[in-house]
Amino acid sequence: MRVVGQNDKKWAGCRPPGGARIGLAVLTLAILAAGCGRSGTEVVPAGGQQPLEAPPARALDSYATKLRAAHAARVAAAKRWGLKKVPLTAPPPPAKKPRITTRKGFEVDGHRRLDLPPVFTTVPTEEKVVFLTIDDGAEKDPAFLRMMSELRVPYTAFLSDYLVKGDYGYFKEMQDRGVGLHNHTLHHPYMPNLSYARQKREICGMQKVIEKRYGKRPALFRPPFGNYDKATLRAAKACGITHVPLWNEEVFVDRWEYREWDRELHPGDIVLTHFRGREDWKGTMPDMIRRFLDKVTAEGYAVGRLEDYL
């Protein structure tokens, strides 16, 4: 039996600077609008072919205006929250989801035979995208919710009931803004110390809490401290869990920590942080997000939504 912990070590192509993706879309639309003409309803191609019906110029103008307005709002938000650059826009979700497998060295005995949920730290992708995940639920900072909504940065939350039950409404507001809420157990125990039955109570119990409070049973589970054993994964599967994402980097207010020896970001990396404030950190959650976004943006990475890839 193997116990795995958080201390275990071990776009192909170019992306324009922040906002350029939207700028290209606007430029394309402008060209189309110019080609159509504001008063005509047809475009007559060369060579005597039949006329082609042109898209309504007003509709194109309206869409382009909305794109420009959305980009301007994001630029203003980045400035308001003190970011060095506007965060890059994530690529569209893959039409075909990548095949997720357990990272080498993170298997438990009988992992494949028992068809246990995969344990992984990186999503297979060639896109320069990383995934932000936030654990537990101790800090409930309204400024954090505003910041993430204004910047339109996706993230995934892993919740423990003993911390979130003081304000279920805070996380409901988070869910209403499109954030996935997932399982981090009821009481955040060190799972390998518990029997299978107790581990199952911790995981299935949190499944029931999230379903009751937020209307949907999670598919993702993260064991506290990143520690698990065979019983943990068996219990998770019995409770309806399909994936067990860990992380490759962890970001704090004042530093980053890395699992890999090269201490670098990689396409598809999962980044961990926590719901924490000044009582635990030398700053606030917006301070932490500022450090996170400044680094990933400077290195050419966008932030994607983890659930879109699973």
CA 124 from centroid of its chain's CA atoms: 14
E strand or H helix at 171, and its extent?
helix 168-176
Whether 61 and 160 map to the same domain: the answer is: no
Confidence at residue 65, expressed as pLDDT on a 0 to 100 scale: 85
Q: Which domain holds residue 287?
A: 119-309
Region label for 283, one of left (φ > 0), alpha (ψ between -120 and 50) or beta (otherwise)? left
Name the nearest CA neighbour of 35 among 45, 43, 24, 27.
43
Give kind and range of the element (H or E) at residue 136: strand 129-136
In terms of domains, do 162 and 243 share one? yes
Question: Does 85 reside within a domain?
Answer: no
Residue 128, Cβ neighbours under 10 Å: how many?
Answer: 23
Give the three-state DSSP class for 212.
Answer: helix
Q: 268 and 131, same structural domain?
A: yes
For residue 99, with 0-12 CB atoms within 10 Å meaning exposed, 13-18 middle and 19 or more buried, which class applies? exposed
Neighbours of 79 (CB within 10 A): 10
Q: Is the pLDDT of residue 31 over 90?
A: no
Residue 276 counted as domain residue? yes
Tell me, yes or no, whether 149 and 229 share the same domain. Answer: yes
Tell me the CB-side half-sphere exposure of residue 122, using CA atoms within 13 A. 19
Query: Where is average pLDDT lowest: 26-40, 202-216, 268-282?
Result: 26-40
Give whichever of 50-59, 66-75, 136-145 has the largest mean pLDDT: 136-145
Per-residue pLDDT at 117: 98
Looking at residue 62, what is its pLDDT? 79
Query: What is residue 90's predicted lDDT score, i.e. its pLDDT?
Result: 94
Percent of the chain having pLDDT more than 70?
82
Tens of pLDDT, residues 89-102:
999 999 999 999 99
Domain shared by 195 and 297, yes or no: yes
Provide the number of structural domains found in the chain: 2
Q: 243-267 as b/e, with b when 16 or more CB fall inside 10 Å?
A: bbbbbbbbbbbeeeeebeeeeebeb
Report the CATH number at residue 166: 3.20.20.370
Contact 26, 64 (CB under 8 A): yes
Residue 110 lies in a domain: no
Same domain? 130 vs 42: no
- pLDDT band of residue 40 (cuts 50, 70, 90) is very low
232-242 per-position pLDDT tens digit? 999 999 999 99
- Residue 131's H or E segment, with its range, is strand 129-136
Q: Which pLDDT score is estimated for 68? A: 86
Note the Cα 200 to chain centre separation in Å.
26
Q: Give the model's pLDDT for residue 61.
A: 80
> Are both 174 and 284 inside the same structural domain?
yes
Cα 91 to Cα 121: distance, rounded to the nearest angstrom: 20
Mean pLDDT (the chain) is 87
Please write the tens of the pLDDT for every residue from 207-223: 999 999 999 999 999 99
Residues 226 and 175 grouped into a single domain? yes
69 part of a folded domain: yes
Residue 44 resides in a domain: yes
Q: Which range, of 34-38, 117-121, 175-179, averages the lowest pLDDT?
A: 34-38
| pLDDT band for position 51 (cuts 50, 70, 90) | low
pLDDT for 71: 85
Beta strands in 146-278 (DSSP E): 156-159, 180-183, 244-245, 249-251, 256-258, 270-274
Same domain, yes or no: 30 and 178: no
Which of 55, 80, 105 delimits the end of a domain? 80
CA separation (Å) from 28 to 47, 263, 304? 24, 39, 25
| pLDDT at residue 295, rounded to an integer | 98
User: What's the token pair of residue 265?
Assistant: 């970001």
